Amino acid sequence: MLTASQVAQFQTQGYLVVEDVIPAPVISAVRVEYATLMDQLYARWEGEGHVPGGEGLSFWEKLSASYAVGCDWFQPMDISLPGGEIEADCPMHFGPAIFDLVVEDRLLDVIEDLIGPEITSNPIQHVRIKPPSPQLAEGEARAHITSTDWHQDRGVGHEEADATDMVTAWVAITDATVENGCLQVVPGIDDGLLPHCPQVQTAIASKHLDTSDAVPLPVKSGGVVLFHPLVPHASLPNRSEGFRWSFDLRYNVTGQPTGRDHFPSFVARSRTAPETALRDWRVWRDMWVNARSRLARRPHIPIHRWASDAPFCA
């Protein structure tokens, strides 16, 4: 699916923007699935007296009204467990439409062109639904809600995955523009893994990255931005009047460490053993439900490996 020049750009510059990867019906199904989830959440919060009446409100209006009063829709909509302490009733979302997105053949074709045909769906994955900057609550620090600091994807996993062949696919559900906070990148991967610090977010340590040559990466709905795990990237703030919606999906060569092995992964494609590829979204959901139950009973496992007292964090 990718041309030789596109593969070469990814291998040297560390990023690639590919439009029209995800078919419109797949995007539409995700929108419908999340609208249904939002309706359920909003109805519960309305019944509890937290939000105003929702009759006639759109998906976006319900998101905005819920966020304004502190009702957290992010974790109930996320396709992962949180990085902090995990409770036995921690909400998360795994449904047929988002599963179909994760295993979409055209997306896997692109991933195969970059890392080969034995592909595992990596558990470092998130929904990102970002409100306009003026709507953000004071002190909002969650990278999945506000703008994301400069980082490398290799730096937000455990050290055991530092040699893993991995690709991040940033999938646009709405158009991503400079105005509404698209991603930006500092091209190149030759500097290797830079030191990170657990700041407001896990971010590349100050003075270790020159961002003067940063390149914005707008992409339309259904398009994908692909990242090598060593390329530095961040997002711009959402200065528009609407939400910006995307998913971070990650894939690695099957059999290699995922960087978060206490969370579940699965085989998304295999040319040598196609029967091993998961095709039932309910199994995927149950893997995460079982992981939640298991992890809630154990001491917390930090998802990042950087220490705030490291010399480069001073």
Per-residue pLDDT reduced to its tens digit, 23-82: 999 999 999 999 999 999 999 999 999 999 999 999 999 999 999 999 999 999 999 999
The token duo for 76 is 């109930």
Contacts 24+ apart (CB under 8 A), 147-150: 147/181, 147/234, 147/235, 147/236, 147/237, 147/238, 148/201, 148/234, 148/235, 149/199, 149/200, 149/201, 149/202, 149/203, 149/204, 149/234, 150/186, 150/203, 150/204, 150/209, 150/211, 150/232, 150/233, 150/234
**pLDDT score at 75:** 97
The token duo for 153 is 């994807």
Report the SS3 class of residue 62. helix
Q: How far apart are CA 254 and CA 117, in angstroms?
A: 9
Q: Spell out the domains of the chain, with CATH numbers in brackets.
A: 9-23+76-313 (2.60.120.620)
Checking if the pLDDT of 241 tops 80, the result is yes
Could you give the angle at which helices 4-13 and 105-115 cross, rounded to 10 degrees?
60
Q: How far apart are CA 56 and CA 107, in angstroms?
A: 35
**pLDDT score at 206:** 84
Closest CA to 137 of 72, 47, 58: 72
**pLDDT score at 143:** 86
Angle at 185 between CA 182 and CA 187, to 5 degrees: 150
Whole-number percent of the chain with pLDDT over 70? 100
How far are the Cα atoms of 89, 107, 120, 263 from residue 103, in angstroms, in the given order?
27, 7, 10, 18
198-239 confidence digits (pLDDT tens): 877 889 998 899 999 999 999 999 999 999 999 999 999 999
Checking if the pLDDT of 180 tops 90, the result is yes
243-268 confidence digits (pLDDT tens): 999 999 999 999 999 999 999 999 99
Checking if the pLDDT of 309 tops 90, the result is no
Half-sphere exposure of residue 223: CA atoms within 13 angstroms, side-chain side: 16
> pTM of the entire structure?
0.96
Residue with tokens 């179909």: 100
